[in-house]
A and B are shown apart, each in its own frame.
Chain A
Amino acid sequence: MAEVTLQNVSRHYGSTAALDGVSLTVPDGAFVVLLGPTGAGKTSCLRMVAGLDRPDQGRVLIGGQDVTEASPAARNVAMVFQQYSLYAHLTVRQNLEFSLKAPGLKLGAAEITARVSRVAEVLQISHKLNNRATQLSGGEMQRVSIGRALVRDPAIYLMDEPLSSLDAKLRADLRIELKAIQAQSGATLLYVTHDQIEAMTMATHVGILDHGRLVQFGPPREIYEAPVSLYAASRLGQPRINLLPAALFPGAPARAKTIGLRPEQIFQGEGEEGQVQRVEHLGDQTRLHLSYRGESLITVTDAHSPLRAGDSLRIRPQNPFYFDADGARII
């Protein structure tokens, strides 16, 4: 395992910047999650580290060594692709063994078998080892792709939305499993996801990408509690942060254009009255859709709330975020 650093990396495709001056350090043993909407440059970022694409500008370092010009094979990285890429002409076992049989690695047959069985066990695919890769369901294919990475012992694991096509239960299991593997072995991961819970529960660090620029990097709680911008604030949180005109509530700073209210930043029972539009009982919590002075917002209340549509509820901001006209946070 090793520390991975991107130094001022840029990559342009025609006029679009896939990556624009990204500087990022993935500390040894860290679990870094990249967040950003589609097209933000998450996959591009992983491909730079893997060596599948060369930066137009900037450097890539793995374990302190400049690998900007090194071939993918020389970098010792493992990658799970966004579109799972199993070798269709091979069985599941052969797929898992493929990287272990690479020339230059020279592992013994017993060692290879042991590693494959261990990973197959963890991913619950032991009974499919002799199937052809094409005879698997989408979720099984995705588990095999994860397995193809996990059998290795690379400098860094790169995973591009590895859990996206799994059912909720399996996803939760694998989330815990991946986190456990990382905690035990001290593996370094650079991980892309759109899933809030994955980001919050697994990451030691979160990087927020916006049009190829890294706009914030830090521990997930820091991103959640101290976002630098409106954009960063809206990447995390469920339900999403409410973004309303700043003038809606009293006490906004002069430059503020937008007020950002997460559910826990909305104090209930004081302030001005709003109307409950809809109540969603989710089990462990209840979501309230409110209308407040012509704007609508969503907040959370306790699971057994007696509130119903049509009721009134007083609310006021509590330590809200304010953003200026450019979307930057006013502190």
Chain B
Amino acid sequence: MSYSITEPTARVKWLAGGLVVAYALITLVPLLWIIATGFKSGADSIAYPPKVLFEPSLEGYVNLFTDRTRATPEMLEAAGPPQNWVEQVARDQGQVIAGPSRFGERFLNSVIIGFGSTALCMILGTAAAYAFSRFRVPLKDDLMFFILSTRMMPPIAVAIPIFLMFRQLGLSDTHLGMILLYTAVNLSLSVWLLKGFIDEIPVEYEEAALIDGYTRFQAFYKVVLPQAATGIASTAIFCLIFAWNEYAFAVLLTSGNAQTAPPFIPTIIGVGGKDWPAVAAGATLFLLPVMVFTILLRKHLLRGITFGALRK
């Protein structure tokens, strides 16, 4: 058999495949456990030894989205038959539904703040990266280093100044405040990553477009952006993951109005005791958007992480 640099041998393929599967198992088991716990009953969730096989229940999800009160049998009797299956699930636990919980609201806040800051970061980051890549910016190298240096300190180190600033500006506990904050934190790394991607796009493409009768902005829009799509997608995922998971600032700066899901999920307390199925259900739903976003952009992401290796 002839030897090829790019084509691995069958044995290497099996070995590599095995390693990937083993790694996937290690990382996926906790994830699967969370998803499974979301569908367990309260009793099953804390059963010892742990139950791998169980009867699925929507208790966790119902409890996640509702506030309930414990009811005596007489009260249940007086309330009449349950109106729908949601109420039925609550009744089965000896509770009545008092109203919707705040999870939906918190989740929506996460979506607005996470995607909002990612979008803003991409717009500003791409524009800045393009300028640094293409234009003669005075003190370019020093500025680039300065931008990176803003990221060298852990953001939480400036928590107190930011807290005071936000209070002065009326940005505390607002969506806008959180979007601006996450954008500011992510922007430096985004500019660096994006500049790398834009640097790789030969300037001849734009020059050709200029000669073809396009303005500089049209050339940017028609030629640079599509070719930078890979870089923008992978940078966007990095930004979204940070903003989506961020906990410390969210605890510090939000409470009532703009609180995101991460500080909210641990506060889900059942009526009497920690409600693990509800926490797991919240965690499962919380995982979904980033997962979907990453899967949607996965083609770009893979190419982005290999840093243009596939591009001619």
Known: A72-B211, A103-B218. 5 other contacts (CB 8 A): A73-B214, A85-B202, A87-B208, A89-B226, A134-B312
Chain B binding site: helix, strand, loop or mixed by DSSP?
A: helix
* Total interface residues in chain A, CB < 8 Å: 24
Within the complex, which residue of A52, A104, A105 is in contact with B211, where a contact is CB–CB below 8 Å?
A: A52
Q: Which residue of A lies closest to B201 (CB)?
A: A88
Within the complex, which residue of A71, A72, A76, A88 is in contact with B311, where a contact is CB–CB below 8 Å?
A: A88
Closest approach, in angstroms, between the C-beta of B59 and any C-beta of chain A?
50
> Given that A88-B311, A89-B226, A103-B218 are contacting pairs, would A83 and B202 also be in contact in the complex, using a CB cutoff of 8 Å?
yes
In order of increasing CB-CB distance, the 10 nearest A-B pairs are A102-B213, A99-B212, A85-B204, A72-B210, A89-B226, A73-B213, A85-B208, A72-B211, A134-B312, A79-B211
B211 contacts which chain A residues (CB < 8 A)?
Answer: 50-52, 72-73, 77-79, 99
Most A CB atoms within 10 A — which of B205, B208, B212, B214?
Answer: B208
A50 contacts which chain B residues (CB < 8 A)?
Answer: 207, 211
| B-contact 0/1 string along A64-104, CB 8 Å cutoff | 00000001110011110101010111000000001100111
Q: Which residue of B lies closest to A149 (CB)?
A: B211
| B-contact 0/1 string along A172-187, CB 8 Å cutoff | 0000000000000000
Task: Please tell me the size bucket of the interface on B.
Answer: 10 to 19
B208 contacts which chain A residues (CB < 8 A)?
Answer: 79, 81, 85, 87, 148
> Given that A88-B312, A134-B312 are contacting pairs, would A98 and B212 also be in contact in the complex, using a CB cutoff of 8 Å?
yes
> Given that A104-B213, A105-B213 are contacting pairs, would A89 and B202 also be in contact in the complex, using a CB cutoff of 8 Å?
no
A85 contacts which chain B residues (CB < 8 A)?
Answer: 202, 204-205, 207-208
Tell me, in angstroms, the Cα distance from A50 to B210 when the chains sit together.
9
Closest approach, in angstroms, between the C-beta of B48 and any C-beta of chain A?
57
B214 contacts which chain A residues (CB < 8 A)?
Answer: 73, 102-103
> Given that A83-B204, A85-B202, A87-B205 are contacting pairs, would A102 and B226 also be in contact in the complex, using a CB cutoff of 8 Å?
no
In the complex, 16 of the A-B residue pairs with CB atoms within 8 angstroms, ordered by the A residue number, are A51-B210, A52-B207, A71-B215, A72-B211, A73-B210, A73-B212, A77-B211, A78-B211, A79-B208, A81-B204, A83-B202, A87-B205, A98-B212, A99-B213, A102-B212, A102-B214
